[in-house]
Chain A
Amino acid sequence: MSRIVLRDLTKSFGALSVVDPLSLDIESGSFVSIIGPSGCGKTTLVRVIAGLEPASSGEVSVDGAPPREARMRKRVAMVPQQPGLLPWRTVRSNAHLLLDVNRRANPNDAADAMALLHEVGLSDFLQAYPHELSGGMQQRVALVRALTLHAPLLVMDEPFAALDEITRTEMRGMLNRLVEGRGVTVLFVTHSITEAVALSDRVLVSSPRPTNVVADIAIDLPRPRSVEVEDDPRFVELCAHVRHALHGGMRGTSETR
């Protein structure tokens, strides 16, 4: 049972309200994206859910427990925007980092980092150092590092934002392959409409700060999804749908095309 439940969650820093009362249920095993303008507080929301930041009021539960507890049991795996690889560790040993710390909380069914590295095509780079890798490869290591925890919740905060468009397309295909069939719940923060639609079962469109969900769009594209799904007319339609919701949510800057 790994769903995220938010009940009237708010978060503010002093007088600045970052998350408005927000209630949300995220189904176990689903891929949910949050898309919204820059600085709308998505990252803060993610940090609250990951147990890195306390909520100001309201309730949050992750995997049936408060986020702090889920964090202590290593039940939340994060992929940050910057890969955050340790430059003195090889690819192989970076992939193992999250299992090397707080070992007592390691799951019994930790995934095999080597198999995962092979799966993302890094078999030839096990002994390489991060500076020898491209940005896309570094982010693949970060993804493997998160998946080794075998956590029921994967939290990704704009993980592909710093990559070029060609690499991003590749990464979308790879991420779909990796999470489909693994039963993992994914919370994915992004700026990119294409990315949100291509990856998600559900896209939540956020308003500018304070964060609130202005549209909740189900993505009914079939799975498994290959990159070709992006040529599907339904894909194009859904993208337009998200875009309208996004611009409708950004009052004053709305434009329709």
Chain B
Amino acid sequence: MTKRVVATVVGITLFLAAWELFVRAFHVRKFVLRAPSTALAHLWKFRGDFASAALVTIQHAAFGLACALVVSLVLGAALSASRFAEWAVQPVLTLVQVVPWVAYVSSVVLWLGAGDRPAIFMVALACTPAYVFATVDGMRSADPATIELLASVDASRWEVLWRVRLPSAAPALFTASRFNMGFALAVAYFVEGANFSDEGIGSIGRRAASQSSGADALWASVFAMAILGFMGLIALSLLERVVLRWHVSQRPTAN
């Protein structure tokens, strides 16, 4: 475990150092790339602003993810029970996934108004397909022997869902969460920049990008998002270790 932490720190440090050297050695233009030291200094200088913006962004991402998860569990449970429903809904979800959401964000903002609502809505919409697919696959992967066993004592569909299918879907849902975590933050950042409000890290980034002196703030917002994503993944890993302690993925590996 400690070895792993050391490896992570070494990897990130080397990456940042290479970046820093590159920017300094080749005098890269400001908006193209800022040295990590410059961006981090800016982030530190305005840490109060960034912290309150981060709270907003975390809320957008977290509420959006939570909504997506709830909708997906209900929808996924229904779809895993019916092939026909699955075949009917899958193309729609695939469309939601492949159509560039960036294209219709402005329309959503017009519809839902400025502020939190379009951000949360877009995060939820963007994260739903992956969660639904994970729920359906996970629930279908439940051990048929156990399901037959529960049928032999006349367990209700609800009991089978709650006691067997839902926990069977947990590993797939965690995998989808890793993917959705980064996605949710990206969508939140973008919509915050597009929703005519001045809350969230995205709005800092947007304002910075439109000012000629904004390169430091822009890159500081990039680093702020990186830190949020990193913290989110750590939180997810900790949760996974508790919830999935029975699962193959959590067993100690020979090392």
Report which A residues bind B (CB closer than 8 A): 50-52, 71-72, 74, 76-78, 80-89, 97-98, 100-102, 105, 129, 131, 149, 155
Q: Which 10 A-B pairs have the closest CB atoms?
A: A84-B145, A101-B155, A84-B146, A82-B145, A88-B246, A78-B152, A72-B154, A101-B159, A74-B153, A80-B145
- Decide if A80 touches B149 in the complex (CB within 8 Å): yes
Residues B152 and A50 in contact, CB atoms below 8 Å apart = yes
B143 contacts A84, C-beta separation under 8 Å: yes
Contact status of A86 and B164, CB under 8 A, knowing A80-B145, A131-B248:
yes
Give Cα distance in the complex from A149 to B143, angstroms.
Answer: 21
A74→B246 CA distance, assembly (Å) = 29
The answer on a CB contact under 8 Å between B167 and A71 is no
Select the residue from A72, A74, A84, A105 with max chain B CB neighbours within 10 A: A84
> What residues of chain A lie closer than 8 Å to B167, measured between beta carbons?
86, 88
Query: Closest residue to A47 on the B side, CB-wise?
Result: B148
27 example contacts (A-B, Cβ-Cβ < 8 A) are as follows: A52-B148, A71-B152, A71-B153, A71-B154, A74-B154, A78-B148, A80-B145, A82-B145, A84-B145, A84-B148, A86-B146, A86-B163, A86-B164, A86-B167, A87-B246, A87-B247, A88-B246, A88-B247, A97-B150, A98-B149, A98-B153, A101-B150, A101-B156, A101-B163, A102-B155, A131-B246, A149-B153
- A2 to chain B minimum Cβ distance, whole angstroms, is 16
**For the side of the interface on B, what is the size category?**
20 to 34
Bound: A78/B152 CA distance, A:
7
Which residues of B are in contact with A by a Cβ distance under 8 Å? Answer: 143, 145-146, 148-156, 159, 163-164, 167, 170, 246-248, 251
Docked Cα-Cα span, A201 to B143, in Å, equals 33
Inter-chain CA distance A89–B159, complex, in Å, is: 15
A84 touching B154 by the CB < 8 A rule? no
Instruction: Please determine whether B151 and A52 come into contact, CB atoms closer than 8 angstroms.
Output: yes
**CA of A149 to CA of B163, assembled, Å:** 18
Chain A minimum-CB-distance residue to B145: A84
